[in-house]
Structures are given as C-alpha cells and as structure tokens.
Structure 1
Amino acid sequence: MVTFTCPKCGAALPVKPGTQLAVCSFCGTPSYIDRREALFFYILPFAIEETAARGIFKRWTAGPACPKDMEASASVISLKKEYFPVFRFRRTVDGKEQVFSRPARGTLLPGMQNVVIPPGDMLIFDSTAKAGGADVLHPDIAVDTYVPELPGTPIDQSLVYFPIYELKYRYGGMEYDLVIDGSSGRISVTNSPKRSSVSYVAVMVLSFILGFLGVLLGFLITPVFFALVIVGIFAGKILAHRVVRREKAAGGTA
C-alpha cells in the first residue's frame, strides 16, 4: 500500500492500488491520486512448483540444441526459489498503452533485463503477502534510473516481485547458470553447452557434392546436369536454415 500526504492537514494517506480519489480520515479532505509518480507494490505468485521446475530443466537438456549425452550427464548443483524485484512501467506511446519492465536489482542473471509479466495474476504486496518459502530479493536500483529512457507518457509504475528459479548445474566439468520463469516455465540462458555442428556441416557437404557432380556431368555428358548445381545450392540453403532454426528454438531461451 502506498502512502501519500494529505494536502490540507499533512496526515498520512494510505492508498490502495487502483484508487483514484482518497479521503483523509482526519480532516475529511478528498484528494486526487496521481498514479503516474506513485510506486505500487505487487507480487506474482509461483505457478510452477519446484518439482515441475526440475522436470522443465530435464526436458530442456534432452532438447535438440543440447549435447546428446547432456540429459544423462548434467547434474543440478543448486536450485533457488526466489522473488526477483522488477519495475513495471505502463505508458502511453503513440496513443497506445505499452508495458515495459526493467530489473530493480543489479544482476547478471539471464532473462531479467526484459521480463514478461503476465497481466491479471499479480497480488498486492503488503504485510499479509506470503513468499511460500522463496527468498525475497530486495531492490537496489532506484525507479528514477529508468524513467528518462522510456518513451511516451506515464500511466503508472510499480515494483513487482517476480517468481524465478535460479538453477546452477554441472556438465562436462563446467558449471552453468540458467533461470526458469516461475510463472510460465520459460528458460533463459546466456552460456550453455551446445550440440556439435556436425549436422550443419553434413548438409553443406552434401550440397557441395551435388553441385560438383552437376558441373562434372554437365561437361562430360550433357548441360542438363548443370541443374544439379542449382539444386545443390538451394537444397543446402533450405536444409541448413532448418537445422539452424531448430537449434536456435531450443537454444538461448526455451
């Protein structure tokens, strides 16, 4: 709950999110609440339990972008259940409402620079809010830090405690970090083991062979075989693009 000051008597004026008009309980003076500069506090409950988070990680290690033996070889070192502070800015840009999010705490964790906060699931963060065993990380960045860089005009701004699982794992003698979104199960990574590019190389070699055969047969037998050159080039591009797209889909962010 945000506290304003009564313009007449100076008494504290506690205001709940969504309030547009508040009446002072001491002098009865009504006050219009300017939500553009107030900072409201919310918490987004976990929708993904710890067991499910481990399952999400396990399925990710079996994905096409990870090494083939990663599912069996990767081991979880630690799994932290946390509420990470995020500033949420609602602004009007070119006549339309847009929402921006920025980390309220200095971090190198992947995926925290532009968190997607689902609408409608947030609860007011006050003394009655329950963390459910998660560590509540406190902000160390002022909200004013981001305001000058944001486009448009403000509607309101808030601090949202966002649910995440910070997971550390070991694979191939190396340690890696990733973040699992506690509301959607989305995985964010920066550096992770990658599957060998053998499939990509194989596709390119095949297209080269087709092209070479087309040139050779075109000179020795008939120019019709020059068509193999074109087939090799286009087939190589299409198949290589599919390989890269498949690996990207399961790579950096899942």
Structure 2
Amino acid sequence: MPPEPSAGTTIQCPQCGGESPLPAGRELVRCPFCSATLFVDRSAVVSHYSLPTLLDRDEATAALRRWMAGNETVKGLDRESQVENIEPLTFPMWLFRAHTDAGKVVFVEPAAPTPIPQVADLEVPAGKLEPFHDPEASVRPIEPTIPLETAKGWVQQRGVHRVTETALVEVPFWHFRYKYDGRSYRALVEGSTGTVLAAVYPEKAESPYVLIAVLGLVLFGLEGLAISNPVLKLLAYAVTAIPLTLIAYWVARKV
C-alpha cells in the first residue's frame, strides 16, 4: 500500500523510500533521490506514470475509420461521416496491482468523470508505462478529480482487498468529433493501442435481423410439427437454413 502523507511537510517516495519536503500546494513532485515522478493525493503519495503516444493524428484517424467500417456501425459510416474536430488529450486513471486467488492482477479505475463509460473498462498495459512527463502544449490534460480512496472503494467492491501497489497513469487519447446524417457524435482513440471507445454512435438497425430470426423460428417450428421422420426433419432444417443464411448475408451487406 502507498504510504500516506505525513502530517508535517515531508512525504515518502513509494519507489525508493526516501523522504523529501512537500512543496505547498503541489500535487506533482519529483523524488530528489531516485527521480521518480509522484502524485500527491489527499490520502497517499503514489507513483505517476504515462502511456506513450504511439499513434499520430493520421494513424488515429485511420483507426477510427477502420472501426467505422466494422460490423457494429451503420453501413457507409466510414465513407459518409465528416470529422469536424480532432483534439489530443490525456486522461488520468488509477492503477491498482493486487493479489487474488487467481494470482497477480491489475485493475484500473477512472480518476476523472467521463461521458464515455468504456473508459472504465480500458486495459492499461503495465509493461508500457513510462515515468510521467509533461505533455506537449497542444495536448489538453484532464485533471484527476476522483480521490484515490473513492477508486480504491470501487476495487474493494469487486472483492479485492490486498492491493500491493497504486499509481496514477496518464493515458493518451485522440478525441474526435464527427457528423453523420445531420447529427454530431464523438469517439476516443487510445493513443497507445488504437482502441476506439464510443458511447453513442450510428449503429446497425436490429429490426431486419429480428425479423429473420422470427421467420426462422416459425419455419423450423412448422417443419418440426409437420415432419415426424428425424432424417427428413434434419434435411428440411438444412434446406430452410440456406435461404435464411443468404437473406441474413444480404441484409448485412445493405444495412
């Protein structure tokens, strides 16, 4: 567990154990002994890391377009949408290493509110962590506003109580705003892996697939009632499945 800040003016580095003065009003501190970057929360002093930004603006845009062309989005979204704005930013995440019955695990919790819930499910590859460094002037940093104790409580609600290490990680994102069919949407592209996160986006229509499923159930049900011979019944099922599959494929290409 990270050591709590003392009641005086010194803090203890969780990396090397060295004690150093805590400048008044400072949340970011560099250890004078091991040069580790530290974040001073209300309840503890923790290591401060960054994930490297491996995707530039064009690569992040390409990742977004690939996601738009996927199976979850409406057909043609990658070609017909217009990107209105691209903004680089960093988002803070609390990282917890813990021991469970399954072994050593890593949990992450958001350190700031986010309108895209999938951020809370983001996987942070611990092997890629780097000591925190100030982002470029063009990058907007999201400040951590969710206290460590609150995030720790979320982890404990999962049944995890043996937290061995805590850290604050700055995750790079490309924030996209795009327009499709007269409506505006937004998405995040994680700048280290290219993972796309979006809460609201133009989805494929579900009604055609529901109709196909209902039609299949009706046909299979009628065949099951009308045919008593098991071999003929299986043959009828196979014959019926062929046009249903072709219809589903056609719908997938058109919707």
Q: TM-score, normalised by structure 1?
A: 0.70
Q: 2:18 aligns with which of 4, 19, 22?
A: 22
2:72 match: secondary structure: coil
Whether 1:131 and 2:118 are equivalent positions in the alignment is no
Q: Aligned pair in 2 of structure 1 residues 202, 94: CA closer, same or farther (>3 Å)?
A: closer
The size of the alignment, in residue pairs, is 221
Measure the CA separation in 2 of the matches of 1:164 and 1:105: 14
Q: Aligned pair in 2 of structure 1 residues 74, 42: CA closer, same or farther (>3 Å)?
A: same
Q: Aligned pair in 2 of structure 1 residues 98, 206: CA closer, same or farther (>3 Å)?
A: closer
Residue 79 of structure 2 is matched in structure 1 by 72
Residue 33 of structure 1 is matched in structure 2 by none
Measure the CA separation in 1 of the matches of 2:170 and 2:134: 11
Alignment of 1:1-254 (within 5 A): 12=10, 15=13, 18-19=15-16, 21-22=17-18, 37-94=44-101, 96-125=103-132, 129-132=133-136, 133-149=138-154, 150=156, 151-197=160-206, 198=208, 201-202=211-212, 205=215, 208-209=218-219, 212=222, 218=227, 225-228=232-235, 230-231=237-238, 235=241
Q: Do the aligned residues in 2 keep the contact of 1:4 with 1:12 (CA within 8 Å)?
A: no
Q: Aligned pair in 2 of structure 1 residues 239, 156: CA closer, same or farther (>3 Å)?
A: farther
Q: Aligned pair in 2 of structure 1 residues 206, 53: CA closer, same or farther (>3 Å)?
A: same
Q: Aligned pair in 2 of structure 1 residues 211, 87: CA closer, same or farther (>3 Å)?
A: same
Q: Do the aligned residues in 2 keep the contact of 1:211 with 1:229 (CA within 8 Å)?
A: no
Q: Do the aligned residues in 2 keep the contact of 1:43 with 1:160 (CA within 8 Å)?
A: yes
What is the Cα deviation at residue 209 of structure 1?
Answer: 4.6
Q: Aligned pair in 2 of structure 1 residues 214, 225: CA closer, same or farther (>3 Å)?
A: farther
Q: Do the aligned residues in 1 keep the contact of 2:12 with 2:19 (CA within 8 Å)?
A: no
Superposition RMSD on alpha carbons, in Å? Answer: 3.9
Q: Do the aligned residues in 2 keep the contact of 1:82 with 1:134 (CA within 8 Å)?
A: yes
Measure the CA separation in 2 of the matches of 1:72 and 1:154: 46
Deviates more, 1:41-50 or 1:105-114: 105-114
Q: Aligned pair in 2 of structure 1 residues 192, 5: CA closer, same or farther (>3 Å)?
A: closer
Measure the CA separation in 1 of the matches of 2:216 and 2:5: 74
In structure 1, runs of 5+ residues without a counterpart are 26-35, 247-254
1:106 match: secondary structure: coil
Q: Could you say which structure has the larger radius of gyration?
A: 1
What is the Cα deviation at residue 173 of structure 1?
Answer: 1.4
Measure the CA separation in 2 of the matches of 1:108 and 1:208: 42
Measure the CA separation in 2 of the matches of 1:55 and 1:64: 16
Measure the CA separation in 2 of the matches of 1:11 and 1:213: 81
Q: Percent identity?
A: 21
